[in-house]
Structure 1
Amino acid sequence: MLRLLAGPPLNVIARYAASALIVSLTALLRYSLEGTLHNFPILLFYPAVFLCALVFDRGSGFFATILSAFLAAYLFIEPRFSLRIGGENAIAVGIFILIGFTMAATTEMLRRTIARLDESERTKALVLQELAHRTKNDLTIISSAIQLQSRAASNPEVSEALDAANARVLVVARAQERLRGDGDGGHVDLAEYIETLCQGLGDLLRDVRPIAVRVTCDPIEVPSSVAIHVGLIVNELVTNSLKYAYPGERGGIVTVVVARAGAKMTVTVTDDGAGCPEGAEPGLGSKLVRLLAKQMGGSVQHEAVDKGFCTHVTLGDPGL
């Protein structure tokens, strides 16, 4: 219905011809219901006028009002087949014309308002798309600079820290790639985003060790800020599993499950590796996961499984 109001109008002849057809069909319907609507000669013409004004424009509404008044007076108001009307009938026709003109004018105002809103939404979407593109380019430049610093670093620990920082920058960049504009400022298809993210992490080890990353994610669209939070959490948990769960040449499977749980969201990452050593101190990645979960009113739970280790993150305010 909104698209009808905001859409481009037909040419004048087509609009008036279509309006005449609608009013004529209404007159035929009124004639067929003569026994039921004998005391209401004008009633059925109100929706006809509104429809013409709604689908076409104000002028079509005015035209439909005049034509409807003429047909009603000529065909259905006594004396029939004559335009000699007076008294209450004349007042009724006058009120009909006044209401018809008012409906047509009001509908035109509504049409113009919706057209402006539609244009505003398109402009917002373009601005959002351009912003996402520029942000992605800036993040790509930052990522390239970090990579150069990592390669130039002589200390392995520094190089590893820079690589981890670069991975986090890329998580944000990938979210910007998948940003789609809407009335809420931009949403991301979380399933597509997480699958692409985990595929990239798995590709890093494709030719090194036989470790697969499998993803199961409910079809969820979330605000870009939430997608970045979830992406960073998944990135840290999967990276930790790839780094520590499979020592030596050992292979295995890392499973990522992102699911909707009512108004909440759960992120579960499980590996079938060596598990977590007792007394191990949480690293920067684990601290980051807890911080991100806390920001969204969530919690983090770790548990040892029969083969490997499982981290379960519950997000209390995912913007679903």
Structure 2
Amino acid sequence: MENMLVRLLPRRRYGVALRYAATCLIIAITALLRYSLDGPLQHFPLLLFVPAVFLCALLFDRGSGFFATLLSAAMSAYFFIEPYFSFAIGLQNFFALFLFIVIGFTMSLVTEALRETIRRLDESERAKALLLEELAHRTKNDLAIISSAITLQSSASRDPAVREALSAANARVLVVAQAQERLRGDVSGGLVGLSAYVGALCHGLGDLLRDVRPIAVRVNCVPISVPSSVAVHVGLIVNELVTNSLKYAYPTERGGVISVDIASEGANLVVTVADDGVGCPAEFDPGLGSKLVRLLAKQLGGRVERENADPGCRVRVTLDERHLLST
């Protein structure tokens, strides 16, 4: 309703002559409509003029509403109240017209206040969207600088373990950066479309880590928008699980398919990453990535389950949607 009223409001203030001419036109059209419905509305001479007064006050200003009220009262008294074509309408009808004028004036004043409130709300929303976009842009730039610094440090190191750790850290930074990129131009209060975000993330991981192996990363995600903080949590979980599959599920030149499914199940959001590789290790020793997944899931009131997919390995992360909405 608020958005419809915003669209109705004119973007600029018209001149006095144009406002009052348009008011006359609206009341004249209303009078013609009332005349065409004279039979059904015989005992309601003022009924159609009430929304006409509101429309004039909404589109223009309270002065136009006052003018529309007086013009409507005059036309009703002359054309639609007995005796017709005369202003000798009697005391009872005069009281009804007076009450209509009081209501019309009050409605015009209230509508003027409504117009001003809607205008200020619209300006506030535009300012908030601009600030949010600016914040996302600055954050993305800062994260890009951090990512570049990590990349330089990784390139300068000769220790493979250090380089691998720095590459993993850089991937996590890029997850946050992509979430901020999704916020740019957003008008929905800082929400991120999860499907497009996770899809772009998995596409980048596949290009980065598959090398020449024929490994496909497929994403199936429910169309849902979540706060940016939740998107970062889910993105980091997917990043760790897909990275783990790309690095360990397909040794040598073996290929396969990694499936990422994000679905709603009751009051939960379920993230499932499955591969058709060598399967889950018999003795699982959680590394930093697995510990991070469990920590992120715990922060969102969730749990992590790992099982053999026959072939391959499947990890299922269940997140409580109540925590998603409150994050």
What TM-score comes out, normalization by structure 2 length? 0.91
Give yes or no for contact 2:209–2:243 (8 Å, CA) kept in 1.
Answer: no
Q: Does 1:97 align with 2:97?
A: no
Please list the CA deviations of residues 270-291 of structure 1 after superposition, one character each: whole Å capped at 9, or x if unmatched: 1111112211201111111111
Choose the corresponding residue for 1:296, options 288, 297, 300: 300
Q: How does 1:24-39 map to 2 (within 5 A)?
A: 24-39=28-43
Of stretches 263-272 and 135-144 in structure 1, the one that deviates more from structure 2 is 263-272
Q: Does 1:319 align with 2:322?
A: no
Alpha-carbon distance in structure 2 between the residues aligned to 1:205 and 1:158: 17
Alpha-carbon distance in structure 1 between the residues aligned to 2:295 and 2:28: 69
Please list the CA deviations of residues 217-271 of structure 1 after superposition, one character each: whole Å capped at 9, or x if unmatched: 1211111011000000000000000111111222221111112224321111111
Give yes or no for contact 2:9–2:58 (8 Å, CA) kept in 1.
Answer: no
Choose the corresponding residue for 1:22, options 26, 39, 44: 26
Deviation at 1:9, TM superposition (A): 4.6
Alpha-carbon distance in structure 2 between the residues aligned to 1:270 and 1:209: 17
Choose the corresponding residue for 2:186, options 149, 166, 181: 181
Deviation at 1:151, TM superposition (A): 1.4
Find the counterpart in structure 1 of residue 172 from structure 2. Answer: 168
Give yes or no for contact 1:5–1:115 (8 Å, CA) kept in 2.
Answer: no
Q: Does 1:8 align with 2:11?
A: yes
Give yes or no for contact 2:279–2:310 (8 Å, CA) kept in 1.
Answer: no
Deviation at 1:150, TM superposition (A): 1.2
Alpha-carbon distance in structure 2 between the residues aligned to 1:227 and 1:147: 24
User: What's the RMSD between the two structures over aligned residues?
Assistant: 1.9
Q: Which amino acid aligns with 1:2?
A: L
Of stretches 29-38 and 81-90 in structure 1, the one that deviates more from structure 2 is 29-38
Taking structure 1 as reference, are residues 40 and 216 closer, same or farther at Cα in structure 2, changes over 3 Å only? closer
Q: Does 1:141 align with 2:145?
A: yes
Deviation at 1:85, TM superposition (A): 3.9
Alpha-carbon distance in structure 2 between the residues aligned to 1:30 and 1:46: 12
SS at match of 2:317: strand
Q: Does 1:264 align with 2:268?
A: yes
Q: Which amino acid aligns with 1:47?
A: P
Give yes or no for contact 1:4–1:55 (8 Å, CA) kept in 2.
Answer: no
Please list the CA deviations of residues 83-132 of structure 1 after superposition, one character each: whole Å capped at 9, or x if unmatched: 23442222221221111111111101101101000000000000000000
SS at match of 2:87: coil
Unpaired stretches in structure 2, ≥5 consecutive residues: none
Alpha-carbon distance in structure 2 between the residues aligned to 1:209 and 1:4: 54
Deviation at 1:16, TM superposition (A): 2.8
Give yes or no for contact 1:133–1:176 (8 Å, CA) kept in 2.
Answer: yes
Unpaired stretches in structure 1, ≥5 consecutive residues: none
Q: Does 1:62 align with 2:51?
A: no
Q: Which amino acid aligns with 1:278?
A: A
Of stretches 66-75 and 206-215 in structure 1, the one that deviates more from structure 2 is 206-215
Please list the CA deviations of residues 195-218 of structure 1 after superposition, one character each: whole Å capped at 9, or x if unmatched: 110111110145432222111112
Alpha-carbon distance in structure 1 between the residues aligned to 2:7 and 2:211: 56
Find the counterpart in structure 1 of residue 49 from structure 2. Answer: 45
Taking structure 1 as reference, are residues 140 and 86 closer, same or farther at Cα in structure 2, changes over 3 Å only? same
Taking structure 1 as reference, are residues 60 and 9 closer, same or farther at Cα in structure 2, changes over 3 Å only? farther
Alpha-carbon distance in structure 2 between the residues aligned to 1:84 and 1:130: 66
Alpha-carbon distance in structure 1 between the residues aligned to 2:166 and 2:209: 18
Q: Does 1:79 align with 2:83?
A: yes
Q: Does 1:132 align with 2:142?
A: no
SS at match of 2:305: strand
Find the counterpart in structure 2 of residue 213 from structure 1. Answer: 217
Deviation at 1:55, TM superposition (A): 3.1
Of stretches 159-168 and 202-211 in structure 1, the one that deviates more from structure 2 is 202-211
Q: Does 1:114 align with 2:118?
A: yes
Please list the CA deviations of residues 2-40 of structure 1 after superposition, one character each: whole Å capped at 9, or x if unmatched: 224544256344433332232223223333343443333
Alpha-carbon distance in structure 1 between the residues aligned to 2:22 and 2:100: 21
What TM-score comes out, normalization by structure 1 length? 0.93
Give yes or no for contact 1:188–1:227 (8 Å, CA) kept in 2.
Answer: yes
Give yes or no for contact 2:275–2:314 (8 Å, CA) kept in 1.
Answer: yes
SS at match of 1:80: coil
Of stretches 74-83 and 27-36 in structure 1, the one that deviates more from structure 2 is 27-36
Taking structure 1 as reference, are residues 91 and 9 closer, same or farther at Cα in structure 2, changes over 3 Å only? farther
Q: How does 1:267-278 map to 2 (within 5 A)?
A: 267-278=271-282
Q: Which amino acid aligns with 1:11?
A: Y
